[in-house]
Structures are given as structure tokens and as C-alpha cells.
Amino acid sequence: MKIAIIAAMPEEVTPFREFFTQRKQIWQKGKTVIEKLNEDVYLVESGIGKVNAAASAAWLCEHVAPDLIINTGTTGTFHANAALGEILLSDRFVYSDVDATGFDYQYGQVPQMPADYPINHALLQEVEQLFAVHNITYHLGTIVTADSFMSDDATINTIRKNFPDLIGSDIESCAIAQVASFYNIPILNVRAISDKVGDKAPQMFDDSVDNVSVQAFQAVQILLNSLSKDAVDKKITKT
């Protein structure tokens, strides 16, 4: 089974590069670097933001055609009881900075595209079981995607109003999921909490990014070692 790991920043991919020492770079353009770690695993440093993420995902899906994409790295959390370094696991992908409600689309829905990109329950169940066996503390829920760092109260309040049950926010995952859906490639989002949304979030992120990137890497390593091909091939609902 061919798995591609996508993370946005050098800090987020460093633990993978330190572990997989025999990697080979196969493509580079702009902020995107794609490396082959071994016969079954590819690593993508996408660059930050939705456009970088979508561009790197398009090249990856077209030329590597992985069986599964795992988006990882850091995330800000809206979850009051979650601690830095704990894992957030997406149950779906959705934008939080798209508003075409004037044309009767749902908030977060790009016109002529799905309202969101769900992850099959059976695949998530296997991930949850693996995390439980390995004593990984995680939270399952909605991680929204926006080209904004969550430090502005007005932005945070708007997102809370439209997604009252969300647990986190990132800047890439839904763009990757949208592209992956064109190729019928399943995707997971497994991220470690680097900050809690609000005006203190930037400093929290700077202080924690290196350590929590290691914790995200450790969670993804469990999936690389144990996720069954059956879960990917037979249990997903392809878009």
C-alpha cells in the first residue's frame, strides 16, 4: 500500500526526515518538496496555505497516485479541555472561510462542490482502535480549514457560530481533500495541538511547534506500521 504524508512546514516534516534517512527527492517547485522515503511511503512538504496544499496534492495524485494520503502537522484547537501535544483527528473536511450562502449554499461550501468531504466511519474506527492500543490521547471531530491563523476574536466567533462542534483549525487539509476527491484517494487528517485559538495563539505556536510536530509524527508512525490495506481498499466510501 502506497501512503503519502503531507505537512506544510519544515518543522512538521523534520521528524520524518530524521527517521527516514535514505529518502530521495523526486520533485520540487515553489515551496513544495516531495520525497520518496521508501517503496511504500512518500513525504510532501507542501508549503503553508490552501493554494500550496492544493498544488502539491494535485502533482502528488497525478504522478504518485497514493492509496492513502495522511495530512499531518500542527493545529490550533477550539477544544477547551484539550492539551498541547494531544492529537486531533478529523471526521470530515470543510472550509471555514467560504461564504456563498447568498446563493443557497451551506456556509463553508465552495459553489458547485460538496458541502464537506467526510471520512468513512469504518476507516476512522480502525484509526481510533490503533490509537487506543498505543495509548494515544486524541479527540475526534471537525477540523476546519481557512487561510487565517486563529488569533482574531471576530474571526474565531464567526467560525464558532457556523461550526459549533468544531475542535480545530488548520490552513491546508480541506484543499488537499478536495483535490484528492477528484482522484478517489482517501485522506486522513492527524494533527497535534500546537496552540489554543485566541490572542495568545501565535506565541503558543512558536513555543510548541517543534515538540508537537514530534507527537504528530509518532501518531502517524503508528498508522504507517499498522493500518491495514483492507481499511483503505474496502472500507472507504470513495467520492
What residues are annotated to the active site? 12, 195
Other C-beta atoms within 10 Å of 190: how many? 26
Is the separation of the CB atoms in 33 and 10 below 8 Å?
no
**What is the DSSP annotation of 117-186?**
EE--HHHHHHHHHHHHHTT--EEEEEEEE-SS-TT-HHHHHHHHHH-TTEEEEESSHHHHHHHHHHTT--
Q: How far is CA 207 from the centre of its chain?
A: 21
Other C-beta atoms within 10 Å of 186: how many? 23
Q: How far apart are CA 56 and CA 180, in angstroms?
A: 11
Residue (of 219, 217, 220, 235) closest to 120 by Cα position: 235
